[in-house]
Amino acid sequence: RQECGVAGDGPTSVTNQVGVLKKIVDRTSRAWIDIQTARPYWKFMRNQFQWQTDIGVREYSVVNDLALLTCDKFDRKNTFLYLTSTDDEKELTWYSYDHFRNRIRTYPSGRPTIITESPGRKLAFNTTPDAVYTLTMDYWMTPEKLQNNTDVPSIPEHFHDVIVWKAVMMFAGHEGATDLYAYAKSQYSPLYTQ
């Protein structure tokens, strides 16, 4: 509100706003989504996951079994499996789902070496695990929303102002405030580049 040049106080909450304060809250939330989706592989959106397989279970739902509710895409260059410790860790080979379905027809018991993701968001191995293996994977998170008073963006704190300036640009663009837009862009661009 302050950087947009809107008089008054607040907002003290992001919920139940009306009028110009609702516009500011909405533009701030949208600015954060736009920043996250501007590039496909931001470092701050990368995360790591570790999970243990079950003996005799070859397919796992990303959402229901692995509970990866914020997983957007797996990093197919960083997927590993080990039995007892990282001393015996081996990298898994990713196959596209179509390639996997066309090439692998039987699933013997053993240590998995190949992995795929089905269109239904299930991870599947080329073998049925014969032991409890530990799977370690990197992934990129889905864009997070700022919608509650306590929400904090996952971007490093010293870059939080990039959200402010993007929101000011959006507000100024809607209001036709070209000088404000130009100033906000001059503040936003160097932060975004960093």
Chain segment 126-152, per-residue pLDDT in tens? 999 999 999 999 999 999 999 999 999
How much of the chain, in percent, has pLDDT values that exceed 70?
100
Which letter does DSSP use for residue 62 in this model?
T
Residue 40 confidence (pLDDT): 78
Measure the CA angle with vertex 189, ends 185 and 193; round to 5°.
Answer: 170
pTM here is 0.78
pLDDT at residue 185 greater than cutoff 90: yes
Residue 31 confidence (pLDDT): 97
pLDDT in tens, 38-54: 987 898 999 999 999 99
How far apart, in whole angstroms, are the C-alpha atoms of residue 32 and residue 146?
7
How far apart, in whole angstroms, are the C-alpha atoms of residue 137 and residue 79?
4
Residue 84 confidence (pLDDT): 87
Residue 10 confidence (pLDDT): 85
**DSSP letter string, 92-151:** PEE--HHHHHHH-----EE---EEEE-TTSEEEESSEESS--EEEEEEEEPPP---STT-
pLDDT in tens, 55-105: 999 999 999 999 999 999 999 999 999 998 889 999 999 999 999 999 999
Mean pLDDT in the chain? Answer: 94
Q: Is 36:119 a contact under the CB 8 Å cutoff?
A: no
Q: How confident is the model at residue 157 (pLDDT cuts 50, 70, 90)?
A: very high
pLDDT at residue 30 greater than cutoff 90: yes
How much of the chain, in percent, has pLDDT values that exceed 90?
92
**Comparing C-alpha atoms, which of 129, 127, 109, 125 is closest to residue 117?**
125
CA 49 to the chain's CA centroid: 13
Residue 62 confidence (pLDDT): 96
